[in-house]
Chains A and B, each alone.
Chain A
């Protein structure tokens, strides 16, 4: 089954008010080209789920700065002062989860589960607005699963069936998010014919992926960023 799609056809399914998951941790694994297409497409009042908000003027920060995002579910905005300022001015609503809890909420969403119980955040402000229950004598916070209408994924290699392989630290949230949305759109740096990838090497099986977009040329956001730290 050939799932290769033109980028604008894929992104055009996104409607105002939908919830969108975006892979990536910092630059690596962020589907910058898909995010740019979403910006051009113009959908607004979005709820965004991403580990952080990229750096100012990059990636999902461009969606946030353009006023397209009403709500952000994330773990950390320390590297994006613009998003923090918009949050403080109530221009965007932010829900924080601890990073591994965010990942696990997405995993649950992708695994057909309602949520899970954890002691992370117990005895802190995080437990104040949440249900706390006792299981086998231990107190835990009930964390709900997260799902999205659409997930935007970046992979190094993909085939036309949608099997995906991620590279190095660009894997991060991508595999979990690729399981947790009604429609999964993956951009791939290298598109190969189905049957050429070794089955043992595949990180996300094609069953989870709806659309495969071949990146013809990596844009400058994918390059090494000078704002980052060197030794």
Chain B
């Protein structure tokens, strides 16, 4: 069930990627977007370890020992791919050359703050490249289950966990909804076919603006 919900998020998230964009996909659901990405869009996928133009994860027999993505998956390359070092890789990120970045979340606040890297006292693995991706991509889309494992809302009035970056989130895609962050407000823009607006509101712990029209479904 959970996997299906994640696949649904990844499939919906793919529609955010317009042709020709420079894209970064974080670990988890964002990486699952690769499976749905249409080749005719000719996007260039950036991997923090120094690749622009990764294509997809490859099979065991096609794996090259010197070719992995930032999540440790063996990959193959798209046409026009390039390699560079870690310094240049993050020049690309901090310089605003990433058109769109997809990341997971532990918490997201009503004004677009993101917390996705540590739970003090429990899990503190370090931020990796996430802070720079969150802060500097031109557009940041969060792909996450709507609630956490305990069933509690991940979308909150304000984050309780240490922030990855402040006011960085543009859009949230969950198994239940698509929500935009506009001028510090959350606006429901789509709902999953199998849910109701009431359920989304109930599972969102922050004010949610509901447009006075029939919402598109996904």
Contact = CB atoms under 8 A, between A and B. Distances in A.
A61 interface: no
Given A26-B72, A104-B87, A172 B50 contact: yes
B51 A169 contact: yes
Given A99-B48, A100-B129, A168 B86 contact: no
Contacts, number: 160
B20 interface: no
Of the candidates A99, A126, A203, A222, the one having the most CB atoms from chain B within 10 angstroms of its own CB is A99
B132 A123 contact: no
Nearest to B65: A224
Interface in B134-163: 135-136, 162-163
A231 B58 contact: yes
A100 B73 contact: no
A126 B164 CA distance: 9
Contacts of B71: 229
B49 A169 contact: yes
Interface stretch (B89-97, B185-193, B200-208): B89-97
Contacts of B94: 100, 118, 120
A162 interface: no
B84 interface: yes
B129 A98 contact: yes
B64 A120 contact: no
A98 B56 contact: no
A74 to B, nearest CB: 6
B39 interface: no
Interface residues of B, number: 49
A164 B217 CA distance: 54
B66 interface: yes
Interface string B42-57: 0000011111000011
B119 interface: no
A99 B128 contact: yes
Contacts of A123: 163, 165-166
B98 to A, nearest CB: 12
Given A169-B49, A171-B50, A98 B127 contact: yes
Contact of B85 (A76, A84, A119, A172): A172
A26 B68 contact: yes
Nearest to A24: B49
A161 interface: no
A224 B73 CA distance: 10
Contact of B86 (A96, A173, A227): A173
B89 to A, nearest CB: 7
Contact of A120 (B86, B91, B131, B163): B131
Nearest to A106: B87
B135 A27 contact: no
Given A96-B126, A231-B57, A168 B67 contact: yes
15 contacts: A25-B49, A27-B68, A28-B65, A75-B127, A98-B132, A99-B129, A100-B90, A101-B132, A103-B85, A120-B132, A168-B51, A172-B86, A224-B63, A227-B72, A230-B58
Interface of A: 25-29, 51, 74-79, 84, 87-88, 94, 96, 98-104, 106-107, 118-121, 123-126, 156, 166-176, 203, 222-224, 227-231
Interface of B: 47-51, 56-60, 63-75, 83-87, 89-91, 93-94, 124-132, 135-136, 162-166
